[in-house]
Amino acid sequence: QKEVEQDPGPLSVPEGAIVSLNCTYSNSAFQYFMWYRQYSRKGPELLMYTYSSGNKEDGRFTAQVDKSSKYISLFIRDSQPSDSATYLCAKGDYKLSFGAGTTVTVRA
Amino acid sequence: GAVVSQHPSRVICKSGTSVKIECRSLDFQATTMFWYRQFPKQSLMLMATSNEGSKATYEQGVEKDKFLINHASLTLSTLTVTSAHPEDSSFYICSARGLGGSSYEQYFGPGTRLTVT
């Protein structure tokens, strides 16, 4: 079983829609949860991180963690074509474990 | 701040040759560097972790004699793919973390695409 499971999509939404991305994880040791954005043929870029259950907002982005169900989510409000990318969830304390990444396309 | 560079960005080599990829932290001292491999439409797979001045720690299934990692300074780590074969073709990404940095404070390079013909 992979430590982090993520539906690879792809996901296509119209501009302005809410993008909802989800991951599940195993191993409940204390750790951080991260969301990265990766454009084609580029390295990942950290979007958000959190270590506790609940919601964390940053502009149009909201990260949600539910430790009881081992579920992490990322919501993107008012999506823009520039949000088109692959989104990777990750968890870890020292070393990171990544999900497979979900490819998102926001249609203008 | 926290910029990590990789060189080269793309490399094509012939089967049997060796290729060196450099990873540099440009504006901070990277006490730990990580090397990942990413296949198309797949996740990042951690290959090894290196601490400055120490031998790298390889993940299970990664051949340490094939993927040589050197972390000789606080700003430079290198990955050498020895006797490369077509199955080694992949996107290699490094990341760097400073002393005392949390797991989210891991900054990624832009990646190196290796094609072995």
Can you list the alpha helix ranges (DSSP code H) found in chain A?
none
Facing residue for B43 by CB, picked from A49, A88, A103: A88
Whether residues B109 and A46 touch (CB distance < 8 A) is answered with no
- At A93, the pLDDT band (50, 70, 90 cuts) reads confident
The token pair that represents B68 in the structure block = 């040589």
Cα angle value A36/B53/B102 (rounded, 5°): 30
With left for phi above 0 and alpha for psi between -120 and 50, is residue B111 left, alpha or beta?
left
Specify the DSSP class assigned to residue B59. Answer: P
- At A51, the pLDDT band (50, 70, 90 cuts) reads confident
Cβ-proximal residues to A57 (8 Å cutoff; 6+ apart), any chain? none
Query: Residue type for A28, please?
Result: S
The token pair that represents B81 in the structure block = 């793919």
Query: Residue type for A52, please?
Result: S
Instruction: Determine the residue among A38, A56, A86, A102 to mutate to test chain B binding: the one whose Cβ has the most chain B Cβ atoms within 10 Å.
Output: A38
Between CA A77 and CA A60 the distance in angstroms is 5
Which chain A residue has its CA at the smallest distance from B106's CA? A46
Instruction: Flag whether residue A29 sits within 8 Å of chain B, measured between CB atoms.
Output: no
- Contact yes or no for A55/A80 (Cβ under 8 A): no
Give the 3-state secondary structure of residue B86: helix
> Looking at beta carbons, which residues of chain A come within 8 Å of B34?
95-96
Residue B5 pLDDT > 80: yes
Give me the total of CB pairs closer than 8 Å, taking one residue from chain A and one from chain B. 56
In chain B, the N- to C-terminal Cα span, in Å, equals: 37
pLDDT value, residue A38? 94
Whether residues A96 and B106 touch (CB distance < 8 A) is answered with yes
Instruction: Flag whether residue A31 sits within 8 Å of chain B, measured between CB atoms.
Output: yes
Residue B101 pLDDT > 80: no
- Contact yes or no for A53/A75 (Cβ under 8 A): no
Residue A28 pLDDT > 80: no
Facing residue for A32 by CB, picked from B91, B95, B104: B104
Residue A59 pLDDT > 90: yes
Stretch A80-89: mean pLDDT: 96
To the nearest whole Å, the CA of B15 is away from the closest chain A CA by 23
Mean pLDDT for all residues in chain B: 93
Concatenated DSSP letters of B94-116: EEEEETT--TT--EE---EEEEE
Between CA A5 and CA A13 the distance in angstroms is 22
pLDDT value, residue A43? 92
Residue B116 pLDDT > 80: yes
Residue B84 pLDDT > 90: yes
Top-ranked range on mean pLDDT: pick from A84-98, B7-21, B41-55: B7-21
- At B1, the pLDDT band (50, 70, 90 cuts) reads low
Between CA A50 and CA A29 the distance in angstroms is 14
